[in-house]
Structure 1
Amino acid sequence: MKLRPGFVVELAVNFLLPWLAYRLALPHLGETGALIASAVPPIVWSLIELARFRRVDALSVMVVAGIVLSVAAMALGGSPRMLLLRESLVSGAVGVVFLLSLPMRRPLIFYLARATVAREMAGGAAHFETLWRERPSLAIAMRKMTLVWGAGLTGETALRAWMALTWPIERFLVVSPFVGYGIYGGLALWTLWYRKTLRNRADARTQPDGIAS
């Protein structure tokens, strides 16, 4: 995927600006206040998108949901083990939402992909809707990606929760980042491989007979 200006802006608003807001607010508002402040950029961006295109930005909603879950986890208690679980709750909640969207007419990844395509080209949302209706293979691929990511994120949360509740805290702090980034990296690599496989199949179907060699 080429890094188009709109995509770069979307990443900055949903990831860089929340982090900057958190760091700037932390000395003055404390951790809870800083987390709330970090939700302001994606909320404002989502409102702008709603006003311009009459649709809610899916990525912004996921980021804000993660921040809300972090604040809720802090409200449940400040014990060391609860704080260790806080980060995992966010990815686990996202994973559960992915899995719950599978029986729906359109899984969650459909909306994330459509929002990305809409920013990359004029009329992108309508074009993506057409592809969804006319190519059953696209729907199958999106459901498979939703299943894999949902299972991966949910499994990562379950594993890290077990580690946080049963392991010594020092061991958890050392091992947990490797587990988390290892699973995320594995999911990303699988996604790249799966996309390449789908592209190769599509290219093979469009080639005239006898040219495959």
Structure 2
Amino acid sequence: MDRSSSSPFRAAGMLRGLAWDVGLPLVAYYGLHLLGVGDWTALLAATLLAGVRIVVGMVRERVLNPFATVMLVVFGLGVLLALVTGDAEFVLLKNSIITGAVGLVFLATSLVGRPLTLAASKSFQPERAAEIDEQYRTNPGARHAHRLSSTVWGAGLLLEALVRVPLIYALPISVMVGVSEALSVVTFGALIGWNIWYARRATRRLSSS
């Protein structure tokens, strides 16, 4: 087993994706807010911009992988509910709905079928998709790493979703937008850090055996 097989995600790719996921909505929201646009409209515009990024990624890869499919379906449902309610708090609550739903899918796929981290790895590293599939098919260590990682990511994302909900109704919208993105950064940073630690630990155990 090499390091790539023991780590479902690569930190560099994840961090680049996180920077785009966090940066685009923040710039859109606060930019529109400075122009005098209301909270609900600015939040919805930022949300739709984040959705466009998902679609662009799918078009670029020319494949509808399970990770992108889950994100797009949950994302679309969240936007639809936000449009129906017309409530700025609910637009923010959509983040928890998406995060929590994706966390549950991570947990479910760690028990049944192929872990969602497998599709996520290929989404973040499309140039290594065939290699990642082959490692999962032939290497028991890679399969264990994906199942464990899917469990950890699922639990982490679900916890983030639960923490965000009371904050949405306790803080002003303009403050909560930044807090929500900061919460995402901390959560993803911690999960990426765990992946790096796990990869190094697995590599050390392999080299000493």
Tell me by how many angstroms 1:40 deviates: 3.4
Counterparts of 1:142-161 in structure 2 under 5 Å?
142-161=146-165
Q: What amino acid is aligned across from residue 86 of structure 1 in structure 2?
A: K
Aligned to 2:136: 132
Q: Report the CA distance between 1:83 and its aligned residue.
A: 4.2
Structure 1 residue 105: deviation in Å?
A: 2.4
Whether the 8 Å CA contact 2:67–2:119 is kept in 1: the answer is: no
Q: Indicate the percent of aligned positions where both proteins have the same amino acid.
A: 23
RMSD: 4.1
Q: Which structure 2 segments of 5+ residues have no match?
A: 1-9
Residues in 2 aligned to 1:130 and 1:164: alpha-carbon distance in whole angstroms:
43
The TM-score with structure 1 as length reference comes to 0.65
Instruction: Give 3-state SS (helix, strand or coil) of 2:95's partner.
Output: helix
Structure with the greater alpha carbon radius of gyration: 1
> How far is 1:85 from its partner?
2.0
TM-score, normalization by structure 2: 0.66
Higher relative contact order by CA 8 Å / sep ≥ 6: 1 or 2?
2
CA contact (8 A) 2:26 2:46 kept: no
Q: Which residue of 2 aligns with 1:105?
A: 113
**1:43 maps to 2:43:** no
- CA distances 1:14-38 after superposition (whole Å, capped 9, x unpaired): 6489659957x9679x444564455
Which structure 1 residue ranges, 5 or more long, are not aligned? 206-213
| Whole-angstrom CA distance in 2 between matches of 1:203 and 1:67 | 42
Q: Residues 17 and 47 of structure 1: is their aligned pair in 2 closer, same or farther, counting only changes over 3 Å? A: farther
Secondary structure of 1:101 counterpart = helix
3-state SS in 1 of match to 2:112: coil
Give the 3 Å change call, closer, same or farther, for CA 116–107 of structure 1 in structure 2.
same
